[in-house]
Chains A and B, each alone.
Chain A
Amino acid sequence: MKQFLELALDTAKHEGATYADIRIIDDKSEDIAVKNGKIGRINCSNSLGFGVRVIKDGAWGFASSSTLTKEEIQRVATLAARIAKASATLSKKPVELVPEPAHTDKWTSNYIIDPFTVPLEEKLDLLFKIDSILRKDKKIVVAEGHMSFWREHQFFASTDGSVIEQTILRSGAGYQAQARDGSELQTRSYPMMGGQYMQLGYELIPALRLLENAERVREEAIALLTAPQCPEGKLDLILEGSQLALQIHESLGHPSELDRVLGMEANYAGTSFLTTEKLGKFKYGSDIVNIVADGTVPNGLATVGYDDDGVRAQRWFLVKDGIFSGYLTNRELAGTIGEERSRGANRADGYSSLPMIRMTNISLLPGNVPYDDIIADTEDGIVMATTKSWSIDQRRLNFQFGCEIGYLVKHGKITGIVKNPTYQGITPEFWNSCDAIADEKSWVLWGVPNCGKGQPGQRAEMSHGASAARFRKVTVGVAR
């Protein structure tokens, strides 16, 4: 392996690169699904490939290939240099990377049971059992359960002297029941929309208590068919953890990506309202809002030893006591806001993608109120749970979310459920209306396995820790 790494760097240097790195990645995955009592899919895969990134004449070039031979490494490294040269014809300022110590290290994520050693029969057996519980009532027209596991094994080497080997194992599972009566269609998912994913082995699966919750999920889906519509107006809104996780993702995670702020995503994903003069000054949320970015948190989907710039993973505040306090950065852009070191948030979707700024794990720190006390303290409110739909403008201000289920709260008590709950707001107004955050007892690290960004599109995964929180006087019931 070492000779491949060296050959790439030497070829690039010979072609005039002032910086080069190579990532060689082998991947392995297993993805199974059961739908309505039948196999939905059984698909396993592996892949191997490498990508070479160079700076030449002050500009980036990148090329990749799935054929790992010496000749191909030379071809690709040379092509990357040629592409950099073409890019350089249209650049203003040479790319400069902020310094990072050279690391020689080996890093592996934590897990107990290797999911690839667990027999397929055992996995299918659990999914079929869940399926039969969900479909016990004829009103359930679609029951779908799935499990997936993937392992990434990556070698990274750079002309700055780093040689890093990392192995990351991620697992996830979940299910959904759709109930229909006439033209009424309602959905409940567990543990969250699309399932819960963590950087763990097969031990995650029993820990999710999938089977134990199936009956409740079925009954809630059916109950929603006859539930009243979510009221329209302004109500105190309590978001449970998995919905709050997506709220953090969309309204703080993406806008604090420094490449978005600097306009590099303007043509597709968009830009950001968190412009650089706001750093350290802007009142993003109320005083109790503390949000950390953390590449080191155990079992987070984005937890790594090092990012794809070879920068050691870190933990820092994005929002401290309500003030916007930090960006997600990489080695190329950290210098543009006067920072001396990258935060280590540069990641690529596999060997064939160019690394770019991606969210690491971003979490709302728990508050000090038990969840039940928040409910007891709410006069006229609604709890919304489990994401159903999400949309936000390209500067990340106007958002609108739909959830699977709403629970009305009157005089400190949950009085009933409502269907089709939606809420809408403007990011800073919303976070400044946060007046209660539940304590660590309801805090969970929720996984987002499919965050899209970039052109060509790249997928990344990250986790968001959150307990429940309350927001005062939010517009609800937009979709009538």
Chain B
Amino acid sequence: MGEHHKRKYIQNLAPLIEKIWKEEEEKERAFSREHIEGIVRKVLDDAKGDQAELLIHGGESALTRFANNIIHQNVSDRGLAISVRVDVGKRQGRFSTNILTEEGLRFALDKAYELAKSSPENPDWLPVLQPQEYRELNNFFQKTADLSPEERAEIVKRHIERCKEKELSSAGILSNDENIIAVANTSGLFAYHRGTQAKFSATTSNGNTSGWAEDVSPDVEKLNFDEVSARSIEKAILNQKPREINAGEYTVILEHSAVPEIFIYMAWMAFGARAVIEGTSFLRDKVGKKVFDERITITDDVYHPLSLGVPFDYEGHPTAKANLIENGVVKGFVHDRLTAKEFGTESTGHALPQPNPYGPIPRNLVISAGDSTLDEMIKTTERGILVTHFHYTNIIDPMRMIVTGMTRDGTFLVEDGKIAYPVKNLRFTQSMIDALNNVVSISRDQKTVSAFFGGSMVVPAMKINNFRFTSTTDF
């Protein structure tokens, strides 16, 4: 770049800086229902073929990452992508793109049409859904969407100052996301949702072992930064010089953040109607039968005040509250339109983009509360293990729901109603069907927490007998 160009370039910078101040306004426009509906209408009007279905998703996500008491990564991404399915008779083709120019959209439409023409007929083909009414679900908070890198740095700094005071070192994230999702089709259906999510997570280390805490909420003002900070610090201090204990069966007290690992593999492999039809769900022949302790009630409920989610699915079908397990008895499964047809029932609005090999899955599990508290669970335990959360769980046997994984960031031996001392981490290998028949107590309070490999749910804390730990590790 020559000197002349450089001067010209610098002159051009003044409007650019102004533009950054205006950027929130622009984003507002780009993500608005009107703008999205505009794109949708344009694409669907231009679609060849007999019918078409369109998904738009994207938004803006920003994340500040810290480790060793410094911010080491700080990122921001904004964008929208579309996925369009064009049907020619019963032949279907899908093309996805993030190039939303006129040219880019036309290319996507042409490609989807071409793919449809070279596909065989889909015997499961369904006409696209007619326009629907959706229940209001407000999980958009402007403050969450607007949280700036400077504000994120301020909050992280506050936490790190506290860690430094106690001579601890912390790693974690503070993120704020704004998510846009829209589904539309050539029958005139248009579904749009805009939501936000903020998350603060901290692993605080005393040099050898660590403590962890996390909170997630659509509303950044409800995110309890100080509590997460305090809890991760308190656990780091408690978890000094853990002692080794033998593997074996123990009573476990699972804090809220450890509970999702009990349910997440059921969500993916057992509660969806496709797995029931194929016979790979352990619940396939158990409707009306009692499979768990009678205090276990499981629903999929995006309208629960603590759920994070969207009130419709990828077919544009309204998402209903689904009763999966009631007082230990199998009540039903989640459906998309296709499995509902095969079952002779209604879709519950849990479809993935069609066609897909997976079938419907629950996305917002809610595990019902009980009548205990974490403190009571500890007080009433003669000998047991308190688990903060689990690491790297995986399913070994889907029919018996045998799951394995490690404890992490604060595992404690409870003796005579008190936390006695921290213990080195343990590996469990446990049938979750058995675990849910060995429930001792369930907490009154519920929290929104995420599972190790993704997905969030609303869960209480739980105390379970005869939980099987199978090996130990060195820390």
Of A86-94, A210-218, A276-284, A466-474, the one contacting chain B is A86-94
Chain A residue numbers with a CB within 8 Å of B104 are 48
Q: Which B residues from 406 to 441 make CB contacts under 8 A with A?
A: 406, 408, 425, 427, 429
Q: Are A391 and B392 in contact (CB under 8 A)?
A: yes
Complex interface: chain A residues within 8 A of B398 (CB): 185
Contacts of A394 in B (CB 8 A): 391-392, 406, 408
Contact B119 A42 (CB under 8 A): yes
User: A95 CB to closest chain B CB, in angstroms?
Assistant: 9
Contacts of B63 in A (CB 8 A): 455-456
The answer to whether B323 has its CB under 8 Å from any CB of chain A is: no
Note all chain A residues with C-beta closer than 8 A to B393. Answer: 391
- Interface flags for A1-33 (1: CB within 8 Å of B; 0: not) read 000001000100010000000000000000001
Q: Which of B337-362 contact A (CB under 8 A)?
A: 355-357
CA A63 – CA B99 in complex, angstroms?
18
Residues of chain B lying within 8 A (CB to CB) of residue A178 = 278, 280
- B150 to chain A: which residues have CB within 8 Å? 86
Q: Is A391 in contact with B67, judged by CB distance below 8 angstroms?
A: no
Q: A47 contacts B97, CB within 8 Å?
A: yes
B-contact 0/1 string along A386-406, CB 8 Å cutoff = 001111111101101010000
Do residues B408 and A87 form an inter-chain contact, with CB atoms below 8 A?
A: no
B134 beta carbon closer than 8 Å to chain A: no
Q: Give Cα A395–Cα B473 distance, bound, in whole angstroms.
A: 9
A388 B396 Cβ-Cβ under 8 A: yes
Q: In whole angstroms, what is the CA distance A50 to B5 when docked?
A: 23
A146 nearest in chain B by CB position: B357
Q: A106 → chain B, closest Cβ, in Å?
A: 23
Cα distance, A247 to B155, chains bound together (Å): 40
Please give the distance in Å from B38's CB to the nearest CB on chain A.
17
Which of A74-82, A166-174, A376-384, A408-416 makes up part of the contact surface? A74-82
Q: Are A393 and B149 in contact (CB under 8 A)?
A: no
State whether the Cβ of B290 lies closer than 8 Å to any Cβ in chain A: no
Cβ of A98 to closest chain B Cβ, rounded Å: 17
Whether A124 is near chain B, meaning CB under 8 Å from some CB there, is yes
Interchain CB contact (< 8 A) of B156 among A90, A121, A457: A90
In the assembled complex, A162 has its CB within 8 A of some CB on chain B: no
CA distance A45 to B20 in the complex (A): 31
Shortest beta-carbon distance from B158 to chain A in Å = 10
Shortest distance between the CB of B417 and any CB in chain A (Å): 29
- Given the complex of chains A and B, what is the CA–CA distance between A79 and B60 in angstroms? 13
Q: Determine if A60 is an interface residue (Cβ-Cβ < 8 Å).
A: yes
Closest-by-CB residue of A relative to B402 is: A479
Distance in Å: Cβ of A416 to nearest Cβ of chain B: 20
- CB of A54 to closest CB in B, whole Å: 11
Q: How far is the CA of A267 from the CA of B9 in the complex (A)?
A: 42
Whether A180 lies near B406 (C-beta < 8 A) is: no
Residue in A closest to B9 when the chains form the complex, CB atoms: A10
- B111–A44 CB distance below 8 A: yes
State whether A456 touches B153 (Cβ < 8 A): no
The residues in A between 336 and 363 inclusive whose CB is less than 8 angstroms from any CB of B are 352-354, 356
Instruction: Output the least CB separation between B57 and chain A (Å).
Output: 12
Would you call A223 an interface residue if the criterion is a C-beta within 8 Å of the partner chain's C-beta atoms? no
Any chain A CB within 8 A of the CB of B71? yes
Known: A49-B79, A66-B79, A66-B99. A263 touches B73 (CB 8 A): no
Instruction: Identify which of B74, B392, B405, B454 contacts A61 (C-beta below 8 A).
Output: B74
Mark out the residues of chain B between 133 and 181 whose CB falls within 8 Å of any chain A CB in the assembled complex. 148-150, 152-153, 156-157, 160, 169, 171-173, 175
Residues in B neighbouring A420, C-beta threshold 8 A: 396-397
Which residues, 231 to 289 on A, are CB-close (under 8 Å) to B?
262-268, 270, 273
Min CB gap A77→B, angstroms: 10
Inter-chain contact B16/A78, CB cutoff 8 Å: yes
Shortest Cβ distance from residue A260 to the other chain B in the assembled complex, whole angstroms: 10
| A47 to B58 Cα, complex, angstroms | 13
Given that A38-B122, A41-B355 are known contacts, is A6 also in contact with B13, CB under 8 Å in the complex? no
Given contacts A10-B1, A66-B98, contact A263 B67 (CB under 8 A): yes
| Contact between chains at B355 and A38 (CB < 8 Å) | yes
CA distance A402 to B402 in the complex (A): 11
Chain B's nearest CB lies how many Å from the CB of A391? 5
With a cutoff of 8 Å between Cβ atoms, the chain A residues found around residue B404 in the complex are 389, 391, 400, 478-479
A66-B98, A119-B118, A455-B173 given; A273·B93 CB < 8 A:
no
Residue on A nearest B454 in the bound complex, by CB: A457
Enumerate chain A residues within 8 angstroms of B356, measured Cβ to Cβ: 40-41
The answer to whether B69 touches A479 (Cβ under 8 A) is no
Q: Are B78 and A65 in contact (CB under 8 A)?
A: yes
- 10 interchain pairs (CB within 8 A)? A41-B355, A43-B95, A48-B104, A49-B98, A61-B74, A64-B78, A65-B79, A391-B394, A397-B473, A478-B471
The 4 nearest A-B residue pairs measured at CB = A40-B357, A398-B473, A266-B171, A45-B96
Contact surface of B with A, Cβ cutoff 8 Å: 1, 6, 9-10, 13, 16-17, 19-20, 23, 61, 63-81, 83, 92-100, 104, 107-108, 111, 115, 118-120, 122-124, 148-150, 152-153, 156-157, 160, 169, 171-173, 175, 201-203, 205, 210, 212, 278-280, 282, 355-357, 391-399, 402, 404-406, 408, 425, 427, 429, 454, 470-475
